[in-house]
Amino acid sequence: MGLAVLAIVIGGTIAATYMVLRPSDTGRDEGIPELKYYTTDLAGVLTESDLYYIDEICYEVNLNSSCEIAVVVVNSTQPYDINYYALRTFQYNGIGKEGRDNGVLVVVATDDGSWRIEVGYGLEGILTDVRVNRLAQEYLLPNMTAGGYGDGLFELTFAMGMIMETEYSGDRGTDRTYPISWIPLTWGDWALVGVAYIFLAVVTKGWALRPLLFLIAIMSGGRGGFGGGRSGGGGASGR
């Protein structure tokens, strides 16, 4: 039974650390979404292929420049204006690296026929309001008008990604990847924890799984993996 007690202590310690370190949701407005990494389709208009290729662009941009692009498609941003909706979504999810503020959020509202590109402070020098608006007019809007949301978002993210990869002059170093951003454990660390729990589960006849299942349950409501960047209020929007 000593190993079972040890498993419970370890699981309880990790759970307590999670509860202390997890970000507070008190600043989240009702209806502001928690985004997936990188594309969130709440309107159901993107195909699996669309999601794959858009995510692939965002991943490569993050890998090569440390900049982060997030895309969200909704039916409507009501009761909020799309500019406020985009700003609060950006702030809540922390798009871009903390201290670099090198994130971009693209919001498309299908029923409203509106769009917004929110630019982080660290990218406003290369993704100016005029430039972002031109990119949207060239790549996003023609496809939106024809109902081709996937094509429009792909072309837009590709164009912005090329600018970020070639013109971003900030720190391009990649941070250590933490699957749960507020718990400083890498994938390798979590793998070791998993192996240890499997061993303990065998020798304790399942006792070790109880704190682990509890931990998984409380962590399932956590936020996504963006880096904690801030918006500078720049960007463009339209219909």
Query: Does the pLDDT at position 90 exceed 80?
Result: yes
Rounded to 10 degrees, the C-alpha dihedral 230/72/18/8 comes to -160
Q: What average pLDDT does this structure show over 95-108?
A: 95
Query: Does the pLDDT at position 173 exceed 90?
Result: no
**CA distance linking residue 76 with residue 72, whole number of Å:** 11
Q: What is the pLDDT of residues 10-44, one digit of tens each?
A: 555 555 554 444 444 446 688 999 998 899 999 99
**CA distance linking residue 216 with residue 144, whole number of Å:** 39
| Architecture per CATH, 39-175 | Roll (3.10)
Provide the whole-model pTM.
0.71
Query: Does the pLDDT at position 68 exceed 70?
Result: yes
Q: What is the pLDDT of residues 185-224, one digit of tens each?
A: 555 666 676 666 566 666 665 555 555 555 555 444 444 4
**Beta partners for residue 70, in sequence order:** 105
Amino acid 23: pLDDT: 47
Q: Which 3 state secondary structure label does DSSP give 209?
A: helix
Q: What is the pLDDT of residues 115-133, one digit of tens each?
A: 999 999 999 999 999 999 9
**CA distance linking residue 11 with residue 19, whole number of Å:** 12
**CA distance linking residue 48 with residue 152, whole number of Å:** 15
Q: Break the chain into its structural domains and give their ranges.
A: 2-23+184-219, 39-175
Omega within 30 of 0 (cis) for the link into 79: yes
